[in-house]
Chains A and B, each alone.
Chain A
Amino acid sequence: MSKNNKNEVVMSVKNLTKIFKSGIFNPEYTTAVKDVSFDIEKGKIISLIGESGSGKTTVGKLILKLINPSSGQIIYKGQDIAEITDKKDTQKYYRRVQGIFQDPFATFNPLYRVDRVFDMIFDSYELGFSDKDEAIRKVLHDVNLNPDRTLGKFPHQLSGGQLQRLLIARALLMDVDILIADELISMLDASTRIGVLNLLVESCKKNGMAVIFITHDLNLGYYISDQSLIMYKGRLVERGATKKIYENSTHPYTKMLFEAVPEIGDRWDPEEEFLPEQVVGEVKDFYQNNQGRGFVEVEKGHSVLFSDE
């Protein structure tokens, strides 16, 4: 891994907050994301880790402009993406910022051949390839797919792993700046997962693509990412270089995640009483004991949320 300090920031997320309102007469408000800030660097992978309801998917959706923030900004190339409203500019934005989601079978239309995902981008964007077919075949080789055994097939004729590779190929063809990978591999088998992950890292290194890897799986997050963000109940509770967070986790929620993650070669302590509900109280105490400290850098490149005000 290169150690140069000229890390180019491609996107800045600043104090991002999303409050969902439900009901008309007596509306209820749910804060899905609160005051989340981080930078996305060129060619780097950031893991966004949290459990269900932590707000990690909402952050992804906000970046993909699928929903609008309640407050805060997402700055891409010097512009707040909330200001991108007309159709042409939006399309320009999607030319460089793309998402891949958990269920590949939901992404592909079962009635069309898989080639359609390529046809669609060639129809929508000026990608600047003189030979379209040649470009597709080359990029399929890059993601370890045999073009002759992939093109012309229907989605049900390919495996989940192959379909996800196909979507990565599409992002590479578009030469995107940022790829939001939301639980990209959680539906894949263990034996095919690693191949897709390795591919993702190689693509980042080669093409300078940045990836936000949204996951609930700490082991996978650790394996591929340079930076990690830990989210809990809509808040960013720990942020920093992956190794630092894992070696020196400080927030009680992050600690709990590490204790719970199953690993071969390391058995859970059967004497220790482990209750998932306990963390709620622990976090509360932690905030109480650190009143007024807020989000603080504890070491270089590693910040922790100490209090919830």
Chain B
Amino acid sequence: MSENILEVKNLRAYYNILKGQVKAVDDITFNLKKGEILGLAGESGCGKSTLASSFISRKKPLEYVSGEVDLVGHEIMKMDEAEFKKLRLKTISIIPQYALDAFSPTKKIRTFIKDLAHQHGIKTDRAFMEKVEERLDLVNLDKSVLNRYSIELSGGMKQRVVMVISTILDPDFIIADEITSALDVSSQRFVATMLANLRDLEIIKSAIFITHDLSILYQIADRIMIMYAGNFAEIAPTDEIVARPRHPYTRALINSLPKVGIQYHDKRLSGIEGTPPHLLNIGDGCRFRDRCPYAIEKCEETPIREKVADNHYVSCWRWQELGSDLNVEE
């Protein structure tokens, strides 16, 4: 119990719009251990970013419906905003998706950092600025960046500055939302590795790394969770999920990734036919069933989350029966 930083049980968070409810996060259960980086992957609209916002921003039209979220002993879904604000940066922090656009073009980086710290009630004394400089050094940035404007920095450099700010108070739990997606491959590697380094140095105690890119998660995540259309699909240790996925969607997702060394002329990769369902007022049943080659009548009922092995869970009616069939190399 105590070694878990985060415990999420049957979390439901919907968007309330005029036409009804968009069930973007629907019955999600998982935990995050101390020292762990959990990768969260899925296609656009699968609810991965919504899951993160349900923890941290909790703004309308997103509405918490039910379920429990325990973050180092705090029942955060039951807290009001004033109470929750005390946890920000120290206990929970986020490196947001559009961080690269967050900088003010008319402010020097130093001013930007100071303003931000003030907003969180942090004193920007010499000790604080020294810590900032230390951390900049850690991400291989010279302290001279503090005197520069954001337009003078490359995307990769900006992302590193954002990482330094987000982790400055050594948070227990950090959400990294698509932090590598807008970067060049060379910066991607650096930034992703950096997140793992921050964990190794115990500057952050745990992280959820949200991305659509499974191959980056393979590099640094300890476990990977796959979501599909607002539902939980599968969670397992990284090597396990890549080698022996149990959910047909996980398998299809891995199969659709090209690798260096595979050319169209040698081996045709296949994608997944069709598109994800609309989540507006969606009914029961496995949400992947319309695209799933293994779908049967039973899939009209919502699958339950079952244990495959230690740390490996899946939501698919046919996981046991399909088992190895799913993993035959073509």
Q: Which residues of A contact B (CB under 8 A)?
A: 1, 51-52, 159, 161-162, 189-195, 197-198, 201, 216-220, 222-224, 242-243, 246, 256-265, 267-268, 270, 274-277, 279
Closest 4 CB pairs of A and B: A276-B186, A51-B184, A194-B271, A191-B272
Q: Closest chain B residue to A247 by CB distance? A: B261
Partner of B218, one of A193, A194, A216, A264: A264
Decide: A267 near B262, CB < 8 A? Known: A191-B253, A274-B189.
no
Query: Which B residues are in CB contact (< 8 Å) with A261?
Result: 185, 260
* Distance between Cα atoms of A292 and B253 in the complex (Å): 48
Q: Is B244 an interface residue (CB 8 A)?
A: no
CA distance A51 to B190 in the complex (A): 15
Whether B184 pairs with A264 at a CB distance below 8 angstroms is no
Given known A-B contacts A191-B252, A194-B269, A194-B271, A263 and B260 have beta carbons under 8 A apart: yes
Residue of B nearest to A144 (CB): B273
List, in ascending order, chain B residues with CB within 8 A of A263's CB.
Answer: 215, 218, 259-260
Given contact pairs A191-B253, A262-B215, A219 touches B186 in the complex (Cβ within 8 A): no
A242 and B43 contacting across the interface, CB-CB below 8 Å: no
Indicate if the CB atoms of B213 and A262 lie closer than 8 Å: yes
Determine the distance from Cα of A262 to Cα of B187 in the docked complex, in whole angstroms.
Answer: 12
Interface contact A260-B271, CB-CB below 8 Å:
no
Is A52 a contact of B256 with CB atoms below 8 Å? no
Q: Which B residues are CB-close (under 8 A) to A194? A: 256, 258, 269-271
Shortest beta-carbon distance from B275 to chain A in Å: 5
Question: Once the chains are docked, how many angstroms separate the CA of A37 from the CA of B261?
Answer: 26
- B258→A220 contact, CB < 8 A: yes
Residues facing A in B171-194 (CB within 8 A) are: 184-190, 192-193
Which B210-226 residues sit within 8 Å CB-CB of chain A? 212-216, 218-219
Residue of A nearest to B265 (CB): A1
- Nearest Cβ on chain A to B330's Cβ, whole angstroms: 14
Q: Does B119 count as interface, using CB distance less than 8 angstroms? A: no
Instruction: Give the chain B neighbours of A218 by CB distance below 8 A.
Output: 185, 260
15 A-B pairs with C-beta separation under 8 A: A161-B275, A189-B43, A190-B257, A195-B270, A198-B270, A201-B264, A222-B263, A260-B188, A262-B213, A263-B218, A264-B218, A264-B242, A265-B242, A270-B193, A276-B186
Q: B256 to A193, Cβ gap below 8 A? A: yes
**Residue from the list A51, A191, A275, A276 in contact with B43, Cβ < 8 A:** A191
Cβ contacts under 8 Å, A224 to chain B: 263-264
Interface size band for B: 35 or more
Q: CA separation between A216 and B218, bound complex, in Å?
A: 20
Least distance between A266 CB and chain B CB atoms (Å): 8
Q: Could you tell me the distance between the alpha carbons of A264 and B224 in the complex, rounded to whole angstroms? A: 13
Q: Cβ of A268: which chain B residues have Cβ within 8 Å of it?
A: 189, 193, 219
**Cβ-defined contact, A257 with B186, below 8 A:** yes
**Further contacts, 9 of them, CB under 8 A, given A191-B256, A264-B214:** A189-B44, A189-B212, A193-B271, A219-B215, A243-B263, A259-B189, A260-B188, A262-B188, A276-B190
Please name all residues of chain B whose beta carbon is closer than 8 Å to the beta carbon of A217 when the two chains form the complex.
185
B156–A276 touching, CB < 8 Å = yes
The interface residues of chain B lying within 8 Å CB-to-CB of A161 are 275
Residue ID in chain B nearest A49 by CB atoms:
B185
Q: How far is the CA of A259 from the CA of B185 in the complex (A)?
A: 9
In the assembled complex, which residues on chain A have CB atoms less than 8 Å from the CB atom of B190? 274-276
Contact between A190 and B265 (Cβ–Cβ < 8 Å)? Answer: no
Contacts of A195 in B (CB 8 A): 270-271, 273
Instruction: Identify which of B184, B185, B192, B269 contacts A223 (C-beta below 8 A).
Output: B269
Report chain B residues within 8 Å CB of A279.
186
In the bound assembly, the distance between CA atoms of A170 and B51 in angstroms comes to: 39
B147 at the interface (CB under 8 A from A): no
- When distances are taken between beta carbons in the complex, the residues of chain B under 8 Å from A191 are 43, 252-253, 256, 271-272
Q: Is B155 within 8 A of A52, CB to CB? A: yes
